[in-house]
Amino acid sequence: MDAPKILIGIGGGIAAYKVCEVVSTLAKSGAAVRVVLTDGAQQFVTPLTFATLARHAAYTDADFWQPSHGRPLHIELGEWADVMLIAPLTANTLGKLAYGLADNLLTNTVLASTCPVLLAPAMNTDMWEQPSVQRNWRLVQEDSRFHTAGPGAGRLACDRLGAGRMAEPPDLVAQLESLRHTQGQRDLAGKQVLINTGGTREFLDPVRFIGNPSTGKMGLALAQAAQHRGATVTLVHGPMSADLLKLDAGDRRIAVTSAAEMHQVMLQELPTADWILLSAAVADVQPATTYPHKLPKADLPAALPLVPAPDIAADLGQRKQPSQRLIGFAAQTGDIVTPAVEKLERKRLDAIVANPIDLPDSGFGSDHNQAVFLDKTGRKRAIAPCSKLLMAHRLYDFVQSIE
């Protein structure tokens, strides 16, 4: 695919500094980034800062009002962009968007474009909760072009605790990637998606366990992609890092530790799910005996007796209804397809993702992945290396075509 063309409009708020990370991340990923600053934004971050981070000149109203030597700047920018972000979205710019007003480069560019626009508001809690601001917020959401990120709640720059905090940069970057793929289509609206992710831990004693290197990144990407496409997502996850758990992924989260706990929760949640995606790295075995106290080193068994852990995929496959879609994952080395096909059939899955864990920048812990999708009808689709979020979207495209 061609490099994404992303236009970022910066509003006049202290949260403008956080958009520096968004611009830098996008530019480093290979995206073509253009930045438009309002007059207010320049009071917080300079055009030179964004020009340096974007590897391209940043635009201001001074550029807008200069004589044109070609097509008008707002027309050029509006037609150029694949997707647009406005962050921080101020109450002033929100009001203009709600009523189709245009008196600066940014708002004129919005009206001269047709691409999806992601809005990330940020303001003081009392400002955000004003009836007029909330009315404008509802109005912009009636326009299918506009998509929303946040605001969240927390400590604001004014030391107020409450709503109005701008969405975090990693979440904005993820939503922009999703918008480019979907072009704003919310084709999973109304669906309940149940996802498990992360590794499980099977404890021998309070400090020793059988585990694996799974970080849960693939499941988080699946949750983000489903949310961005309109689904309601329940995410059941094993132990994960605090940084990953900060990501906006999943409308409801249920934390578990062991395979038995994950098995119980997944069975409980199954009846209300439309799609179930099993990306967790669940233990196959567990210690036959779990000790309530730490075993002295001298007392550790020379051979550790093991018993099978619950088979979540097989039990869900036995219980799922014809209208439900059950998608498994098979992390493999060497030949990834043959064992995946066997697992697909044995566990009564509708589709499976076979992904290699022995190739560079793929599998456990990586931000990227590659795979072969297979379904119960024999269809097979190879997915070249890409971000895990893009792989999630391609998987949803694949699952929607299952008959």
Residue 102 located in a structural domain: yes
Give the domain-ending residue among 182, 202, 235. Answer: 182
Residues 161 and 306 grouped into a single domain:
no
- Hey, is 112 helix, strand or coil? coil
What domain range includes position 381? 192-400
Q: What is the pLDDT of residue 70?
A: 78
Residue 263 located in a structural domain: yes
Assign 159 a pLDDT band (cuts: 50, 70, 90).
confident
Cα(282)–Cα(260) distance, rounded to whole angstroms? 10
Q: Are strands 32-37 and 83-89 parallel, antiparallel or unpaired?
A: unpaired
pLDDT tens-digit map of 84-106: 999 999 999 999 999 999 999 99
Residues 172 and 212 grouped into a single domain:
no
pLDDT tens-digit map of 26-56: 999 999 999 999 999 999 999 999 999 999 9
How far is CA 207 from each of CA 293, 296, 305, rounded to the nearest angstrom?
9, 11, 18
Per-residue pLDDT, averaged over 167-178, amounts to 95
| Structural domains in the chain (count) | 2
Residue 151 located in a structural domain: yes
Cα(218)–Cα(224) distance, rounded to whole angstroms? 10
Assign 158 a pLDDT band (cuts: 50, 70, 90).
confident
Residues 224 and 320 grouped into a single domain:
yes
Give the domain-ending residue among 182, 213, 234. Answer: 182
pLDDT at position 69 over 80: no
Residues 216 and 160 grouped into a single domain:
no
Residue 175 located in a structural domain: yes
Residue 229 located in a structural domain: yes
Q: Supply the pTM of this predicted model.
A: 0.91
pLDDT at position 177 over 90: yes
Residues 360 and 216 grouped into a single domain:
yes
Q: List all residues 6 or more positions away from 352 whose beta carbon is below 8 Å from its beta carbon.
A: 327, 328, 329, 330, 340, 341, 343, 344, 373, 374, 375
Residues 223 and 354 grouped into a single domain:
yes
Q: What is the pLDDT of residue 164?
A: 85
Residues 198 and 172 grouped into a single domain:
no
Instruction: Supply the CATH number for residue 201's domain.
Output: 3.40.50.10300
Assign 1 a pLDDT band (cuts: 50, 70, 90).
low
Residues 367 and 242 grouped into a single domain:
yes
Instruction: Supply the CATH number for residue 134's domain.
Output: 3.40.50.1950
Residues 111 and 199 grouped into a single domain:
no
Residues 368 and 316 grouped into a single domain:
yes
Q: What share of the chain is helix, strand, coil (3-state, %, to 5)?
A: 35, 25, 40
Residues 323 and 360 grouped into a single domain:
yes
Catalytically active residues are: 158
Give the domain-ending residue among 182, 211, 231. Answer: 182
Residues 56 and 164 grouped into a single domain:
yes
Residues making up the annotated binding site for CTP are 284, 294, 329, 343, 347
Residues making up the annotated binding site are 284, 294, 329, 343, 347
Q: List all residues 6 or more positions away from 342 whose beta carbon is below 8 Å from its beta carbon.
A: none
Residue 187 located in a structural domain: no
How far is CA 275 from each of CA 22, 134, 140, 393, rounded to the nearest angstrom?
32, 34, 30, 14
How many residues make up the chain in this entry?
403
Residue 105 located in a structural domain: yes
Residue 26 located in a structural domain: yes
